[in-house]
Amino acid sequence: NMNVDVSAKQASPTGPTLETVLSVEHWTDRLFSFRITRPSGFRFRSGEFVMIGLEADSGKPLMRAYSIASPNWDEELEFFSIKVPDGPLTSRLQKIQPGDKILLNRKSVGTLVHDALTPGKSLFLFSTGTGFAPFASVIRDPETYDKFERIIVTHTCRDTAELDYSRKIVNEVLEHEFLGEIAKNRLSYYESTTREDYYRQGRITTLIENGDFAKTIGLDVFNPETDRGMICGSNQMISDVRDILLQNGLTEGSNARPAEFVVEKAFVG
Ligand code: A2P
C-alpha cells in the first residue's frame, strides 16, 4: 500500500490527539474562550486541567496547561484563555477559527476537584482573571450540588468587560433546564472589579476583610467545620486568599490528602 496515512503519525497511543475547533468567542482584547471536539475516550474530573497546544513551525508541539471550563458531562471541551501579544502559544491560539486543529493531551490532572476536599456544607470558589475557568466546570457539574448546600463563586477582574464570561456561565447554569432547578437559591455569584467603576469594587481579599463578602452572601465566614474552598488565580492572589483561609483554621488539601481547601495557579501566558 503506497498511500501514506499522515494521521497515523499523530495517533500515537500516548501522544496528543488532534481535535477540531468548533467555536471561538472573544470577550475582550485580553480574553477569549473556545470549544473543541472531545474524543470519546477522554475522561476527566470537573475542575481538572490538560495540556493543549499547536503544532509549532519547528514541528515540535507547543503545549501549555489549560483548565477545562466545561463540565465532565459535556460532549465538547471548552477553554477560557488570556491573549498575550508575545506569548509563544496564546499569540497564535487567539487567532484560531472554527475548523482549525488543536492538540489535546490524553490525560488531565489537577487539585480543584471534589476528591481533594473533605465533606462540607458551603463551597467557596475564589477566582481572578482566567482563574474562573475551572469553576466554570465545577459549577456546571451536578455532583457539586449533591455534595454542597451552598456554592459561592467569586470572580474579580480589572474591568467589567472581563466579567462577561463568568456572568454568562452563571446565568446559563441558573437558566439551564436541569441545573437551574438544583442551583436555584444555592449558587451565588460574587463579582468585583479593581480598575473600573462598578457597584462592587475591590480585591476579594479586601472585600472579605471589610465584611462586604459575608454580609452580601449572608453567611458567617469561614468555619473549618462547614466551609470548603478552591482558589485559582495569580500566585500572589492565591497566597493572600490562602492566608485568610489558614487564619480561619482551614487546612490545605490535595488528591492524596483531602482537606478543607485546595489551590491552583491560573494560566498566565
Ligand atoms: P488589581 O487590579 O488590584 O491588581 P490580572 O488581570 O492582573 O491577572 O488580575 C486579575 C485581578 O486579580 C485584578 O482585579 C487584580 O487586582 C486582582 N489581584 C491581583 N493580585 C491580587 C491579590 N494579591 N489578591 C487579590 N486579588 C488580586
The domain ranges of the chain are: 16-109, 114-265
| Ligand 1 contacts CB of residue 156 (under 6 A) | yes
pLDDT tens-digit series, residues 42-79: 999 999 999 999 988 888 889 999 999 999 999 999 99
**pLDDT 10s digits, 64-119:** 999 999 999 999 999 999 999 899 899 999 999 999 999 999 999 999 999 999 99
Cis, peptide link before residue 222, omega less than 30° from 0: yes
Q: With a 6 A CB cut-off, is 237 part of the ligand 1 pocket?
A: yes
The rounded radius of gyration (Å) of the Cα atoms in the chain is 19
**175 CA from centroid of ligand 1 (Å):** 30
Please give the CATH architecture assigned to the domain spanning 16-109. Beta Barrel (2.40)
Kindly give the parts of the chain with pLDDT less than 50. Answer: 1-9
Distances (CA, A) of 16 to 12, 105, 132, 224: 8, 4, 25, 40
How confident is the prediction for the chain on average, in pLDDT?
94
pLDDT at 11: 56
The predicted pLDDT at position 5 comes to 44
- At residue 58, the pLDDT reads 81
Whether ligand 1 lies within 6 angstroms of the CB of 192 is answered as no
pLDDT value at position 268?
65
User: Could you give the ipTM of this predicted complex?
Assistant: 0.98
Q: What 3 state SS string does 83-126 have? A: CCCCCCCHHHHCCCCCCCEEEEEEEEECCCCHHHECCCCEEEEE
Instruction: Give the integer Cα–Cα distance in Å for 238 and 33.
Output: 23
Residue 127 CB–ligand 1 contact under 6 Å: no
**Centroid of ligand 1 to alpha carbon of 224 (angstroms):** 26
Q: What is the distance between the alpha carbons of residues 99 and 72, in angstroms, rounded to a whole number?
A: 23
Dihedral angle, C-alpha 145, 25, 34, 23, nearest 10 ° = 110
Tell the CATH topology of 114-265: Rossmann fold (3.40.50)
Dist. CA 193 → ligand 1 center (Å): 9
